[in-house]
Amino acid sequence: MRILLISPRGPLYRHRTGIMKKSLRYAPLTLTTLAALVPAELNAEVTMLDEGIEAIDLDLAADLVAISCITGTALRAYELADQFRRRGIPVVLGGVHPTLLPDEAQLHGDAVVVGYAEESWPELLCDFAAGRLKPRYTQRPGFTLAGLTPPRRELLHPGNYTMFHTVEATRGCVHKCDFCVVPTAWGGPYLRPVQEVVDEIRRLETRRLIFLDLNLISEREYAGELFAALIPLRLTWGGLATIGIASDAELLDLAARSGCRGLLLGFESLCHESLLETRKGMNTRKDYHEVVRQLHDRDIAIMGCFAFGFDHDTRDSFADTVDFVLNAGIDLPRYAILTPFPATPLFQRLKSEGRILTENWDLYDAQHVVFRPEQMTPEELLRGTELAWKRTYSYPSIVRRLLKARTQLAAAIPANLGYRFYANNLSRFYTCREALL
Ligand code: SF4
């Protein structure tokens, strides 16, 4: 059996035509995990195609194609699925978007996988081999990460990724931010036994890695146990957390001692009301300057994420946020346009208020405006965000931020130059907006 696994990309990140350079990519785990889950008795030949780094040959021979997509890549996934199906090749669709909207995905796939695929994907493959493929495979209750099959990383080319060694310790998240797909699609958190994580890292024989977990500190006790177990491995690692880590000196010390040198943190907004509105109340009691100080004191660089477009945001929000980012010395800031992903509470609210402007999923990439903001026009939201990117990544701003941060400069300087390129090329990807606004 020949199985083709595909990760499609939206226009922003597609190979050659997208903005992001290859150098900013981490090796994904989805396809390598799916490859590892193929039952050995099927003697399958597995090919993986990541459209972020290579073009997809639609003439490739396959008996079964499986495509994993997010909302921003769903239309591309459907386009690819339709083309393979026209050649008579059955297609399976999975990932977060088909999990959120399985009935829509079903229109383009012979089978849809809803939820995590650890159990359903091997079952689906055995059914396919026996000629009894079902249209829908849904994650069963009681899902656990214990005994996870290690991803088949040998199927990836290390030279295609700036960070080849990626690992996951947890999935899902304990919080319920109203714009986030995680609580709607998967809930969680799901925790891997710490010893299994440590064993996998030892097998990788590396000292540098990235945790792809959506929120490493979802469960405080687990995070402490994990960080303590990492200390003897003498790693340098980065990952994602919430800003709550800055108020927990013991946990932050453990993270630093275990080799944490960079964290992606969702600040989201400077506005108290916006944080409450989006159910990110855990950020409201935090002094953001102090958060930055606590991490920098431990030599941990910050990728700080902010979103624009909350109902309480005004035209001043852009400048206020950039001022904060420059004054605080955030190492690598990122701005998103608030995006109501389908089936999330935010989408449902905006839909009921008649404020969703388009359900063209290509534009659901967090850099286009897909809903009517409360206190500005869609065009102002788009332009304000683009200007925030440009101001943040002007050369004087980069120098000012990094001089203040003085943290992990060997990595922060090239990363800033990469994001400067991104900021200055965003407008090339706003071509669809005239149809939208
Ligand atoms: S903390 Fe992060 S991962 Fe968790 S629900 Fe909020 S946005 Fe999603």
Residue-wise pLDDT tens digits, 67-121: 999 999 999 999 999 999 999 999 999 999 999 999 999 999 999 999 999 999 9
User: What local confidence, expressed as pLDDT, does residue 53 receive?
Assistant: 86
Whether residue 64 contacts residue 42, with contact meaning beta carbons closer than 8 Å, is answered with no
User: What local confidence, expressed as pLDDT, does residue 131 receive?
Assistant: 97
d(CA 91, CA 64): 6
Find where tokens 């206190």 sit: 375
Q: Which atom of ligand 1 is nearest to the CA of 215?
A: 3
Under the banding of pLDDT at 50, 70 and 90, the label for residue 432 is very low
Any atom of ligand 1 within 6 Å of the Cβ of 212: no
- The token duo for 70 is 């997010």
User: What local confidence, expressed as pLDDT, does residue 22 receive?
Assistant: 53
User: What local confidence, expressed as pLDDT, does residue 17 receive?
Assistant: 59
Any atom of ligand 1 within 6 Å of the Cβ of 188: no
Strand partners, 208: 236
Q: Which CATH superfamily is domain 2-138 in?
A: Cobalamin-binding domain (3.40.50.280)
* Domain locations along the chain: 2-138, 165-436
C-alpha 34 – ligand 1 centre gap (Å): 24
Find where tokens 């945001």 sit: 313
C-alpha 191 – ligand 1 centre gap (Å): 16
d(CA 32, CA 30): 6
Cα 158 to Cα 14, 26, 165, distances in angstroms:
19, 10, 9
User: What local confidence, expressed as pLDDT, does residue 240 receive?
Assistant: 97
Of 5, 1, 24, 21, nearest to 332 (Cα)? 24
Q: Is the pLDDT of residue 23 over 50?
A: no
pTM for the full predicted model: 0.93
Cα 136 to Cα 32, 117, 253, 277, distances in angstroms:
22, 12, 46, 35
Nearest CA, atom 1, ligand 1: 175
- The token duo for 260 is 């944490």
Q: Which CATH superfamily is domain 165-436 in?
A: tm_1862 like domain (3.80.30.20)
Whether residue 157 contacts residue 224, with contact meaning beta carbons closer than 8 Å, is answered with no
Amino acid identity for residue 224 in this structure: G
C-alpha 69 – ligand 1 centre gap (Å): 19
DSSP assignment of 342-373: TTSHHHHHHHHTT-B----GGG-SSSS--B--
Cα 403 to Cα 163, 299, 308, 322, 407, distances in angstroms:
25, 14, 26, 16, 9
Any atom of ligand 1 within 6 Å of the Cβ of 175: yes
User: What local confidence, expressed as pLDDT, does residue 19 receive?
Assistant: 61
Per-residue pLDDT of 270-284, as tens digits, reads 999 999 999 998 898
Any atom of ligand 1 within 6 Å of the Cβ of 423: no
Query: Is omega for the bond preceding 189 within 30 degrees of 0, making it cis?
Result: yes
Residues near 99 by beta carbon (within 8 Å), at least 6 away in sequence: 113, 114, 115, 185, 186
Of 173, 220, 267, best ligand 1 pocket probe by most atoms within 8 Å of the beta carbon:
173
User: What local confidence, expressed as pLDDT, does residue 18 receive?
Assistant: 64
C-alpha 241 – ligand 1 centre gap (Å): 9
- The token duo for 116 is 């995590």
286 phi-psi bin (left φ>0, alpha ψ -120 to 50, beta other): beta
Q: Is the pLDDT of residue 420 over 50?
A: yes
Q: Is the pLDDT of residue 415 over 70?
A: yes
CA angle 24–390–362, rounded 5-degree value? 60
Any atom of ligand 1 within 6 Å of the Cβ of 242: yes
C-alpha 181 – ligand 1 centre gap (Å): 8
Share the mean pLDDT of the chain.
94
Check for a shared fold between 2-138 and 165-436.
no
Q: Which atom of ligand 1 is nearest to the CA of 280?
A: 6
User: What local confidence, expressed as pLDDT, does residue 316 receive?
Assistant: 97
C-alpha 47 – ligand 1 centre gap (Å): 32
Per-residue pLDDT of 324-380, as tens digits, reads 999 999 999 999 999 999 999 999 999 999 999 999 999 999 999 999 999 999 999
- The token duo for 222 is 């687990």
Any atom of ligand 1 within 6 Å of the Cβ of 11: no
Whether residue 407 contacts residue 331, with contact meaning beta carbons closer than 8 Å, is answered with yes
User: What local confidence, expressed as pLDDT, does residue 25 receive?
Assistant: 77
Give mean pLDDT, residues 304-310.
98
User: What local confidence, expressed as pLDDT, does residue 336 receive?
Assistant: 97
User: What local confidence, expressed as pLDDT, does residue 285 receive?
Assistant: 80
User: What local confidence, expressed as pLDDT, does residue 281 receive?
Assistant: 86
Any atom of ligand 1 within 6 Å of the Cβ of 214: yes
